[in-house]
């Protein structure tokens, strides 16, 4: 049970991109949960910890970063792979960043909305079903959702290039790198500076927002 819901709920952790493709889904945890509890049990970073994740380094503001990042809200911890917005931005660059961050984060909400609109079973009460059955229904709907996006040609990355097989080897240093707060704050600063240099009129702060 959750305080903000009248009935028992099942949580779904998901990662979606601008094309509404769902890249990761983790559903069906038992007992009372919140975003942090789910994160601690999620397999989202398992491949990074055992050394089997594809390499995706990138450079921003003349700094090289080993891993990609996820846009999250304020409840998530300050890990190197999470980028959070500013709750109370003060300078124009921070306000531009907040607008862009919130716009991009709506992608996952749009993905949920499309899923529920497309598959009516997700809008119906499921109290009579087991958690295992609910999990299977959610995963099936997500798979079909991605298949439709790919078939329609709307996927940003429609072709998956299979990485060469890598033997899983648990890396003790990977976790400490994932939760590194210094990298978290440096990445956020670099993204704010990078975005501030771009000519994006739709993110400019109007006098009403000052």
pTM of the model: 0.79
Predicted pLDDT at 185? 96
Predicted pLDDT at 37? 79
Q: Could you give the C-alpha distances from 176 to 49, 83, 156, 173, in angstroms and in order?
A: 10, 17, 31, 5
Residue 44 falls in which region: left (phi positive, over 0), alpha (psi -120 to 50) or beta: alpha
Predicted pLDDT at 155? 84
Distance CA 70, CA 34 (A): 18
Predicted pLDDT at 47? 79
In sequence order, the 6+-apart residues with CB closer than 8 A to the CB of 37 are 29
Predicted pLDDT at 182? 95
Predicted pLDDT at 210? 52
Query: Any idea what DSSP says for residue 74?
Result: T
Q: What is the pLDDT along the chain (210 residues), one digit of tens a residue?
A: 556 566 677 788 889 888 899 988 988 776 566 777 788 888 888 877 776 777 788 999 999 998 889 999 888 999 999 999 998 888 989 999 999 998 888 888 888 899 989 998 888 877 778 888 988 999 999 999 999 998 888 888 765 656 666 566 666 778 888 889 999 999 999 999 999 888 877 777 664 555
């Amino acid at each position: 049970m959750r305080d903000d819901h009248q009935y028992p709920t099942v949580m779904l952790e998901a990662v979606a991109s601008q094309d509404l493709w769902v890249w990761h889904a983790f559903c069906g945890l038992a007992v009372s949960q919140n975003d942090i509890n789910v994160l601690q049990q999620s397999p989202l970073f398992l491949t990074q910890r055992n050394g089997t994740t594809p390499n995706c380094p990138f450079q921003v503001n003349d700094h090289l970063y080993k891993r990609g990042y996820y846009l999250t809200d304020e409840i998530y911890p300050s890990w190197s792979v999470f980028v959070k917005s500013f709750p109370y931005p003060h300078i124009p660059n921070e306000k531009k960043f907040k607008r862009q961050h919130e716009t991009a984060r709506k992608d996952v909400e749009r993905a949920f909305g499309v899923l529920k609109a497309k598959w009516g079973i997700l809008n119906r009460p499921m109290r009579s079903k087991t958690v295992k059955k609910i999990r299977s229904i959610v995963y099936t709907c997500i798979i079909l959702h991605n298949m439709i996006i790919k078939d329609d040609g709307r996927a940003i990355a429609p072709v998956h290039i299979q990485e060469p097989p890598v033997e899983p080897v648990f890396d003790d240093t990977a976790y400490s790198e994932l939760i590194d707060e210094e990298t978290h704050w440096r990445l956020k600063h670099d993204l704010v500076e990078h975005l501030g240099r771009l000519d994006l009129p739709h993110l400019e702060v109007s006098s009403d927002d000052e």
